[in-house]
Amino acid sequence: MTNPVQTHTIAEAEKLFRAGRLDDMESVCAAILDNTTSPNGAKAEAHRFLALAWYTRGELSKAEDAVRRAIELAPNDAPARDNLSLILCAGGKHAEAEAAAHQAIALQPKLVNAWLNLGLALRKQERFAEAEHPHRVAIALQPSNSELWNHLAAVLEKLRRSPESLAALQRAIELRPDFQLAQENLTRLQQQPIPDAGKLACNQGTKLLTENRRDVAEALFRRALLFNPDLPDALLNLGKVLLLKHQYADAEKHLLEARDKRPDSADVFYHLGLACMALRKLSEAEAAYLRCIELDPSHSRAMHN
């Protein structure tokens, strides 16, 4: 059974920490650690709060030592491992911080700060695509937290998804109108030229298609068309992916749209011919191949077909 005096003392330490009274908090923690009757749980919490005090003062080595002592006493304490992640990340030990955050999440899957710190550790390693997921999980767990929306906006900006980043910042400010940092980030982002999101997604998809990552490429081409339904390259490349996946009717549909947008592209007509051949539309296929050769007489594959 937990000693009620010790429970009150730990609560007092937490209260002092939140009030910024670090010296007083350290005295309380020292009393807990000096008391031979203090249970391990209370001692672990005392070490954890001491670690946070050292972290706040910028004494990262001392903070790390203290939180590791807390973990030794209470190895299944998720907040301690989460604090370790925070401290390691601040000290530039980003891979170790990532591992500590994963350990905290394994122990307590709904610990919001652990998901946030996992995202921060991934961002420090410039693994921005991977960092998006933990930030979104944190928001799902605590959607009214303006800080989390601001962090998500930073990730989306790194991924060059400016419209989504702007929306995240606007949400942060809606939740907390006096959020100065989010206001500054929003102003800065609004002053930057926003890249064409459709072309960006299409370019990413084209790269993945060369790596034979068809499903992800298809998703990116469809995403590009959500931003810009008339983007010829996205229509053509989506048609190519669908041909590779033997979805010939859907491929023909998009290639016909690409043809209407780019009637002078031999590549469009060649792939349209492939789709028509697969659908046994022989006259349409022949017409597409002939047009391909008219536009590019050196197109040997069309001549062969």
Three-state SS annotation for 86-141: HHHHHCCCHHHHHHHHHHHHHHCCCCHHHHHHHHHHHHHCCCHHHHHHHHHHHHHH
Reading the chain (305 residues) residue by residue, the pLDDT tens digits are 344 444 457 888 888 888 888 888 888 888 888 887 888 888 999 999 999 999 999 999 999 999 999 999 999 999 999 999 999 999 999 999 999 999 999 999 999 999 999 999 999 999 999 999 999 999 999 999 999 999 999 999 998 888 889 999 999 999 999 999 999 999 998 887 656 778 888 988 998 999 899 999 999 999 889 888 889 999 999 999 999 999 999 999 999 999 999 999 999 999 999 999 999 999 999 999 999 999 988 865 645 55
Q: CA torsion sign, 82 to 86 to 91 to 93?
A: positive
Q: pTM for the complete prediction?
A: 0.62
Residue found under tokens 């926003």: 194
Q: Is residue 146 classed as helix, strand or coil in its secondary structure? A: helix
Q: What's the DSSP call for residue 167?
A: H
CATH number of 197-304: 1.25.40.10
**Cα atoms in the Cβ-side hemisphere of radius 13 Å centred on 147:** 8
Provide the residue type at 296 as one letter: D
- Which structure tokens are listed for 94? 């980003």
pLDDT value for 29: 87
The C-alpha angle 170, 138, 171, rounded to 5 degrees, equals: 10
Query: What whole-number distance in Å separates Cα of residue 149 and Cα of residue 160?
Result: 16
Task: State which H helix or E strand residue 175 sits in.
Answer: helix 162-175
Provide the residue type at 46 as one letter: A
Q: What's the DSSP call for residue 247?
A: -
CB atoms within 10 A of CB 22: 17
